[in-house]
Amino acid sequence: MFLIFLFLGVFSCRTFPEYPVVYNYVYDSEAYFKGKDCSFVGKTVYKGKPLRVSIKIAVDSTYCEPSFADFDGLFSFCLDTTKVTDNSYIQFVAEGYEPKRLWLRKFLKSDKVVELKKGSVTREEWMRFHEGIRFCALFNDIVTAPEDEI
């Protein structure tokens, strides 16, 4: 038995060949916030009471921002307003409620209080949406590392 552990310990720690780096990304907060307005604050409610929801701000097919309402129903987000088009929208999804989608330009001019109605969004549907919008931030806050850092 001891020999098996010794064998596994020695050979499992062997060095693997150097594989080429396919992608080398680094977080760059300065690049992320450049040109964005971070003053947008809103609230989600159901019958006047705060509601926790997941929010997707879809500017176009290549640019979106995620946001999440807290226990008080408050949410905020940063947005490059120069990229907003007539097709841009903001979507609110919460388990047990109807999803709500609003045109982004109209939402930005409103009081930013969004009332949701009881509905049939399942936990699975909400989780799929919630996890899906996390990828918006993944591609909005990373940049390719400079060649000298690779």
Q: Please count the structural domains in the chain.
A: 1
- CA–chain centroid gap for 98, Å, is 20
The verdict on residue 110 lying in a domain is yes
The verdict on residue 107 lying in a domain is yes
The verdict on residue 15 lying in a domain is no
The verdict on residue 27 lying in a domain is no
Residue 87 lies in domain: 35-149
- Residue 90 has a pLDDT of 96
- Residue 44 has a pLDDT of 97
- CA–chain centroid gap for 75, Å, is 13
- Residue 80 has a pLDDT of 86
The verdict on residue 11 lying in a domain is no
The verdict on residue 23 lying in a domain is no
Q: Per-residue pLDDT tens for 62-80?
A: 888 899 999 999 999 988 8
**Mean pLDDT in order along the chain per 10 residues (150 residues):** 54 50 53 75 96 93 89 92 92 96 95 95 94 72 48
Measure the CA dihedral 80/76/116/118, to 10°. Answer: 120
Is-contact 64 132, C-beta < 8 A?
no
The verdict on residue 108 lying in a domain is yes
The verdict on residue 101 lying in a domain is yes
